[in-house]
Homo-oligomer: A and B are copies of this chain.
């Protein structure tokens, strides 16, 4: 193979299900000189990341840090550390990431009871109770913001179920953290994980995670070894604090980027950030609706940071994706599971959640749909602008 030339990657506007737009200052932070993982200057970076993560998570949990791998490793870390072979877990499934939780928990040796819900609808606490059959469970788990459908599953009602069955409550906050309130302590979440490349808008490659004292106490009572060494949260806690015992070589540059992304979130202010996501989500939906497009997820459970849009009859879903990318430089996502080929997913996460981007997307989508056999009754832009000007 001839040696390829240096990369010159195209600039896309990232409005898919993640990764999201990375702010320039985050890319600049990423490229700062690499430090060794034991350098006091890097230990200080870790400390600051940890402190800022506690604020963004809304927790005082000591065991709050970031894994040196992508969001899915956070899922595996939580489930593999908390579950032992034979333990019972009750897991809500209304999308790809709920299903993945089931698979990961089963690989950890747990006896899993699935609580299925139609994709595109929110999890139903009464279905959890029915499935639990009155038995104690070690873990009740759910996805807060289902990236595969754009549905919000509320934490409170499922937390209540976990209490009834004496279970730890595990929440996938991959697409919620930084884009909507999570408030781990107030929500009573025992173990949560997220990803750097969604509403925090850092590059992919690190997974924020947080565990309550209650979760740590359950881990301390394990009778079998944690199956993963790389994701052993006891070893990782000791690396991020305490003795700072060497575990692995932290990806220092990724942590610089996460540091800057967290800084930007806190400088904006979390409540401002949530309001921004909310408003841009509303504007986008107003525009899409004005174009006559159907949004399969009900308004009251729709995520502001991820919108599922039905593909109009007769339109080739993937041709639209390709045109948006190749002509307009915009990435949006395709549908998954029952929505494969039947819906698009538009992400307004972190850096992507901007008025300018919403308007740019609506205009590009309008032109693209026209070319692909669907004539929107309206341009959509005015309806979106109406939300901003209200």
Query: Does A377 sit at the interface, judged by CB under 8 A?
Result: no
A15 CB to closest chain B CB (Å) equals 10
**Does B34 contact A72, Cβ atoms closer than 8 Å?**
no
Q: How many residues in A have their beta carbons less than 8 Å from beta carbons of B?
A: 83
Task: Find the B residue at minimum CB distance from A16.
Answer: B36
**Does A9 contact B33, Cβ atoms closer than 8 Å?**
yes
- Copies of this chain per assembly: 2
**Does B25 contact A203, Cβ atoms closer than 8 Å?**
no
Query: Does A253 sit at the interface, judged by CB under 8 A?
Result: yes
**Does B7 contact A34, Cβ atoms closer than 8 Å?**
no
Given contacts A3-B267, A263-B6, whether A11 and B30 have CB atoms under 8 Å apart is no
**Does B36 contact A7, Cβ atoms closer than 8 Å?**
no
List chain B residues, Cβ under 8 A from A256: 7, 9
Q: With the chains together, A31 CA to B254 CA distance in Å?
A: 11
Query: Does A29 sit at the interface, judged by CB under 8 A?
Result: yes
**Does B71 contact A69, Cβ atoms closer than 8 Å?**
no
List chain B residues, Cβ under 8 A from A41: 9-10
**Does B52 contact A34, Cβ atoms closer than 8 Å?**
no
Q: With the chains together, A100 CA to B30 CA distance in Å?
A: 30
A324 CB to closest chain B CB (Å) equals 12
Query: Does A314 sit at the interface, judged by CB under 8 A?
Result: no
List chain B residues, Cβ under 8 A from A51: 1, 4
List chain B residues, Cβ under 8 A from A25: 6
What are 22 pairs between A and B in contact, CB < 8 Å? A1-B55, A3-B52, A3-B263, A9-B32, A9-B41, A9-B42, A9-B45, A9-B256, A10-B33, A11-B33, A12-B36, A22-B33, A68-B70, A69-B70, A100-B229, A107-B226, A195-B249, A197-B249, A203-B252, A204-B250, A204-B251, A227-B228
A-B pairs, 6 with minimum CB distance: A205-B251, A31-B31, A69-B69, A203-B253, A204-B251, A27-B31
